[in-house]
């Protein structure tokens, strides 16, 4: 399995987390246990992609998986992108009822992160996504880190390390580096379709992979879009 190969490759050098997207409680429990056996430190549960599900049912779904999980779990809460998710009150209720739920991975603004941090009384480790958009402000707002795509992870990791130094000079370096990568992030996150169409070409160019197949479903890539992706990839350099 892919996660076993990844676990073997990183060999405990960094924590391994696994996203769980099965659509049933039983399926998610089985996958989480397999992830734990492979060495995962924690797992991120995605909601089943069924629209108009009452929040109480989502809490029941995630809670059942959390209670059966041998490792800590979090949820990916991105209703704007996935079309389903929990309110801040729902996130707080899930944590209170299921103490194994300790992480939330958002796709939201830094302002919303600051609000969630207050409303959950700092009980959860908050990560943001959005491919790194608002990374610095997200961490200032209370996020412990970000979980971006792969296109510029090396640059974003350096930004995080500069911020973690806790020095004024480190923050200045982080802000300068972020200013250089932000145009790429804005290009990719213009819409989910843009991200799906052009994210892989950026990463492919940086990895030296010539043949890149788009995610399905997505709109066809345009020549201008592909040239833009290539230009941004070349500016970042090879991985």
* Boundaries of every domain in the chain: 1-147, 150-239
Superfamily of chain region 1-147 = Aldolase class I (3.20.20.70)
The number of residues making up the chain comes to: 239
Distance (Å, whole) CA 128 – CA 139: 9
Going from the C-alpha of 124 to that of each of 100, 104, 138, 149, 203, the distances in angstroms are: 11, 7, 15, 22, 31
| pLDDT(225) > 90 | yes
Chain centroid to Cα 189, Å, comes to 13
SS3 content of the chain, % helix, strand, coil (to 5): 55, 10, 35
Distance (Å, whole) CA 238 – CA 218: 26
The 10 Å CB-count burial string (b at 16+, else e) for 81-116 is: ebebbbebebbbbbbeebebbebbbbbbbbebbbeb
Distance (Å, whole) CA 125 – CA 112: 14
| pLDDT(214) > 80 | no
Q: Render pLDDT for 79-116 as a digit per residue (tens, 0 to 9).
A: 988 889 999 999 999 999 999 999 999 999 999 999 99
Going from the C-alpha of 220 to that of each of 87, 96, 194, 214, the distances in angstroms are: 35, 45, 10, 8
Residue 121: is it exposed, middle or buried by C-beta count within 10 angstroms (0-12/13-18/19+)? exposed
Q: Render pLDDT for 29-41 as a digit per residue (tens, 0 to 9).
A: 999 999 999 999 9
230 — pLDDT class (breaks 50, 70, 90) = very high
pLDDT at 37: 94
151 — pLDDT class (breaks 50, 70, 90) = very high
Distance (Å, whole) CA 117 – CA 95: 13
| Predicted TM-score of the model (pTM) | 0.91
Q: Render pLDDT for 152-172 as a digit per residue (tens, 0 to 9).
A: 999 999 999 999 999 999 999
52 — pLDDT class (breaks 50, 70, 90) = confident
């Amino acid at each position: 399995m892919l996660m076993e190969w990844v676990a073997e490759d990183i060999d405990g050098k960094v924590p391994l987390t696994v996203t769980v997207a099965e659509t049933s409680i039983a399926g998610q429990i089985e996958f989480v246990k397999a992830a734990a056996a492979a060495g995962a430190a924690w797992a991120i549960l995605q909601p089943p992609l069924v629209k108009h599900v009452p929040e109480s049912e989502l809490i029941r779904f995630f809670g059942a998986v959390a209670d059966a999980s041998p490792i800590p779990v979090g949820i990916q809460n991105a209703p704007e992108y996935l079309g389903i998710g929990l309110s801040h009150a729902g996130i707080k209720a899930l944590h209170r009822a299921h103490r194994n739920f300790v992480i939330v991975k958002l796709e939201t603004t830094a302002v919303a992160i600051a609000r969630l941090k207050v409303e959950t009384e700092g009980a959860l480790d908050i990560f943001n996504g959005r491919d790194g958009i608002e990374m610095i402000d997200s961490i200032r707002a209370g996020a412990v880190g970000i979980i971006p795509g792969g296109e510029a992870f090396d640059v974003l990791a350096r930004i995080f390390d500069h911020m973690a130094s806790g020095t004024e000079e480190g923050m200045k370096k982080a802000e300068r580096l972020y200013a250089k990568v932000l145009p790429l992030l804005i290009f990719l996150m213009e819409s989910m379709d843009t991200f799906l169409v052009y994210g892989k070409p950026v990463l492919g160019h940086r990895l030296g992979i010539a043949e890149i197949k788009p995610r399905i479903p997505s709109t066809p890539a345009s020549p201008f879009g592909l040239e833009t992706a290539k230009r941004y990839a070349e500016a970042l350099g090879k991985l």
